[in-house]
Amino acid sequence: MNIFDAKDREVLVSRMDASTYDLVIIGGGITGAGIALDAISRGMTVALVEQNDFASGTSSKSTKLIHGGLRYLKQLEIALVREVGQERAIVHGIAPHLVHAEKMLLPLVKDGTYGKILTSLGLKVYDVLAGVEKEDQRRMLSRDEVLDLEPLLENIELEGGGIYAEYRTDDARLTIEVLKTASRFGAHILNYAEVTGFVEENGQIKGLNWYDHLTFREHVVRGQQVISAAGPWVDHLRKKNGSMSDKHLRLTKGVHIVLPYDKLPVKQTVYFDVPDGRMVFAIPRGRKTYVGTTDTDYQGDPGDVRASMDDVLYLLDGLKTTFPNLGLSETDVESSWAGLRCLIEEDGKPASELSRKDEIFEADNGLLSIAGGKLTGYRRMAERIVDIVVGRFEDGGRMFRDCMTKNIALTGGIFPNSRSVADYQGKVEQRLSGLGLDQGYASYLVSNYGRQVDDVFAIYQLREMGDCDKRLLMSELQFCIHHEAVHSAMDFLERRTGRLYFDILSVRKYGDSVLAEMAAEFGWDEVRMGKEREWLQVGITKATVFE
């Protein structure tokens, strides 16, 4: 059985029905994924259930940076900055094709958020805390040096700037590769499996009721220990479990917009001031530049977060202030996404003391819940909570290994360093030319799949000739169905390939072909096909229509 082959799902479900695991995890975002890999590699038996698709919550809606969080330094969250700062190099090391080193340009403007001295000192402290190599450490720049790097900034009251090192990734791809790596160690991992209740024995949690959204059946999964890594849904499950405390989540919405690169042709990432005193990123990615984020309180359904016209105008306002000559408007916005930050609020404490750190909640019946934190810190969060689980097992006389995830390369990521990624990408370019495909696909393919591009090419060779672009897309689709548990067109178009955000034209052009290929593969009937068409349309509307 290949756990991530969508066609093997029924076998997996039967095994899960019949097993009792050391650990069952709720939530297939980056936090749950990290916990699954940590626990299974220490020797536990592990199951993970995700109500929707993997990374369908916050873990596909972030700014997609593996970063130390400069703004947390401003809030004096020193420990957080140090931890995530140091994690960046580790996450880069285990997936160098997916986590790319990137320079960030921070222009300093008159009366901006950061002054020259504060920036110079802050970036220095940031480098020291994060242990950044000397050659990558921050450099302060004169006005002319900033303009050399980014001529688009010439029409603002520029006083100078700083350039510093961070990493860029794709959050949904990182999540799926961590999950696939956990499955290679033997973890049982299932999407479209919603936890609906808790099974208790003698006042202790011993399993979960879950509902299968693909077969419409109820199941139970049994586990000695249960962790909820349900992101914005953590409190919903804590309430269901009767274990709310005086600490709870406060959700804030963050929106990103995507523009064609030639409309906002920044040479590297720019982290710039917006009129209300916040700062946002403009990040080039292939033929697009994305911009974010906003930060507004959110009370609605965590499963239906979307960008409003106000969000879009806020980001455009910021762009117009920093890049006044580009004449950007709403019509330049091609796509968008919106996600929810989980901040930890404590009864009786003022809003200014909201924490962005991760928090672990331990319930009397044994349920462990974890929320908050960052994509960047997922590995350390996992280590902390799995240590608690190990401690519980040790009390009962069972021992497990120490955390070893810093040395586990993620699937597709068996590269000693960035140079070997570049070499591999060169070979992919040659193969693309040989196949009559645009070489421009190389960086997309290698960032997405790493060495698994070889598997995509193998499928490509077997497919019928015809429109090369479509043939490549369908080869990716086949790879994702059989190796990445894709069950719905949106799993593929939004989270496995990022096309909904970064190539919406291809979604409009090939959406129906993707549906037809999946219908043939899964034997969908007209009812299912109707739903899939609707979900595709809703996905496109959410990304492109703003009210």
Enumerate binding residues for ligand FAD (CB under 6 A). Answer: 26-32, 49-52, 56-59, 61-65, 67, 194-195, 229-233, 237, 254, 293, 339-341, 373-376
User: Phi/psi at 409 (nearest 5 deg)?
Assistant: -70, 140
Where is 161: in which H helix or E strand? strand 158-168
**Dist. CA 416–CA 137, nearest whole Å:** 23
Identity of the residue, 122 or 372, whose beta carbon is nearer to ligand FAD in the bound complex: 372
Quote the least distance from Cβ 193 to ligand FAD, whole Å.
6
Where is 359: in which H helix or E strand? strand 359-362
Identity of the residue, 27 or 284, whose beta carbon is nearer to ligand FAD in the bound complex: 27
Identity of the residue, 108 or 249, whose beta carbon is nearer to ligand FAD in the bound complex: 249
> Residue 502: beta bridge partners?
none
Length of the chain equals 547
**Dist. CA 383–CA 405, nearest whole Å:** 9
Quote the least distance from Cβ 290 to ligand FAD, whole Å.
11
Identity of the residue, 59 or 113, whose beta carbon is nearer to ligand FAD in the bound complex: 59
Quote the least distance from Cβ 179 to ligand FAD, whole Å.
11
Identity of the residue, 54 or 441, whose beta carbon is nearer to ligand FAD in the bound complex: 54
> For residue 253, which of 31, 32, 28, 58 has the smallest C-alpha distance?
58
Identity of the residue, 62 or 405, whose beta carbon is nearer to ligand FAD in the bound complex: 62
- For residue 227, give Cα distances in angstroms to 185, 198, 352, 362: 19, 12, 29, 9
> For residue 32, which of 222, 174, 175 has the smallest C-alpha distance?
175
Identity of the residue, 205 or 237, whose beta carbon is nearer to ligand FAD in the bound complex: 237
Identity of the residue, 38 or 517, whose beta carbon is nearer to ligand FAD in the bound complex: 38
Quote the least distance from Cβ 17 to ligand FAD, whole Å.
17
Quote the least distance from Cβ 428 to ligand FAD, whole Å.
27
In terms of DSSP bridges, do strands 188-190 and 46-49 run parallel, antiparallel, or are they unpaired?
A: parallel
- Token pair 């936890």 in the structure block, residue: 195
Quote the least distance from Cβ 378 to ligand FAD, whole Å.
7
**55: alpha, beta or left? (left if phi > 0; alpha if psi -120 to 50):** left
**E-only strand ranges, 202-349:** 204-212, 218-228, 247-260, 269-273, 279-285, 288-292, 296-297, 335-346
Identity of the residue, 259 or 432, whose beta carbon is nearer to ligand FAD in the bound complex: 259
**Dist. CA 145–CA 157, nearest whole Å:** 14
Quote the least distance from Cβ 95 to ligand FAD, whole Å.
14
Quote the least distance from Cβ 61 to ligand FAD, whole Å.
6
- Token pair 């968008």 in the structure block, residue: 336
- For residue 46, give Cα distances in angstroms to 233, 298, 546: 21, 33, 41
Quote the least distance from Cβ 348 to ligand FAD, whole Å.
25
